[in-house]
Chains A and B, each alone.
Chain A
Amino acid sequence: MRPEMEKVLAEIEKVIAGKRDVIVKILTALLADGHVLLDDVPGVGKTTLAVAISRAVDLNYKRVQFTPDVLPSDLVGFSMYDQRSGGFSYHPGALNDANLLLGDEINRASSKTQSALLEAMEERQVTVDGETYPLQKPFLAIATQNSVGAAGTQFLPYAQVDRFLVRLSLGYPDYAAQMEMLKNRQGINPIDQVRCVMTKEALLAAQEEARQVVSRDAILDYITRLTMASREHAAVDVGISPRGALFLDRMAKAHAWVEGRDFATGHDVQVVFRDVCAHRVLLKENSENNVDDVLNDLLKTVENPDRHSRGMLKQ
Chain B
Amino acid sequence: MTIFLQLVASGVAVGMIYAAIAFGYQLTFATSKTLNFGQGEALALGALFGLTVVPFTGYWLMIPLVLVFGFGLGAVVERLAVRPAIKIKSEYGWIMATIALGIIFKNVAENIWGRDDLKFPSPLPEAAIELGGVRILPMEVLIVAGALLMMLAVEVFNRKSIWGKAVIATSNDIDAAGLMGINTKRVITLSYSISAMTAAFAGVLVAPVTLTGATMGSVLALKAFAVAIIGGLESGLGVIVGGLILGVAETLTGFYISTGYKDVPGLILLLVVLSIRPVGLFGKAVIKKV
A binds B: no
